[in-house]
């Protein structure tokens, strides 16, 4: 999974955003496959890209969960509808 995310991230650096996601992924994957043909460099590139991809995935999940918690915490609790629409009748003396 990390290698896939890393290939996509590298492809996004090569192909700018108006192009499709598939085109970005294929560009990054193609570059990594060319580097993978070099005997020693291929293993090193695979390791680095996989670790960076896993780190990017972890960071994205962390940030999205933190944003979700912040949105839930900032939401005000709803007020009781009965108290605001129908005030209690005044006691007669």
DSSP 1: -
DSSP line for 11-63: HHHHS-TTS-HHHHHHHHHHHHHHHHTSHHHHHHHHHHHHHHHHHHHHHHHHH
% of the chain residues with pLDDT over 90: 34
- Whether 40 is in a domain gets the answer yes
- Of 9, 89, 91, 90, residue with least CA distance to 49: 9
**The predicted structure's pLDDT at residue 74:** 76
What is residue 90's three-state secondary structure? coil
From CA 27, how far away is CA 8, in angstroms rounded?
Answer: 8
- Whether 11 is in a domain gets the answer yes
Structural domain boundaries, residue 34: 2-69
- Whether 26 is in a domain gets the answer yes
Number of structural domains (the chain) is 1
- Whether 92 is in a domain gets the answer no
- Whether 76 is in a domain gets the answer no
- Whether 55 is in a domain gets the answer yes
The model scores a pTM over 0.85: no
**The predicted structure's pLDDT at residue 93:** 58
Q: For 5-47, write each residue's pLDDT tens digit.
A: 999 989 988 888 777 888 989 999 999 999 999 889 999 999 9
């Amino acid at each position: 999974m990390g290698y896939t995310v890393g290939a996509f991230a590298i492809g996004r650096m090569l192909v700018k955003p108006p192009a499709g996601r598939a085109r970005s992924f294929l560009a990054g994957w193609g570059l990594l496959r060319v580097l993978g043909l070099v005997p020693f460099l291929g293993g090193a590139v695979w390791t680095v890209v996989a670790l960076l991809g896993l780190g990017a995935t972890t960071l994205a999940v962390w940030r999205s969960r933190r944003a979700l918690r912040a949105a839930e915490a900032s939401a005000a609790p709803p007020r009781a509808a009965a108290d605001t629409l129908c005030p209690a009748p005044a006691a007669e003396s």
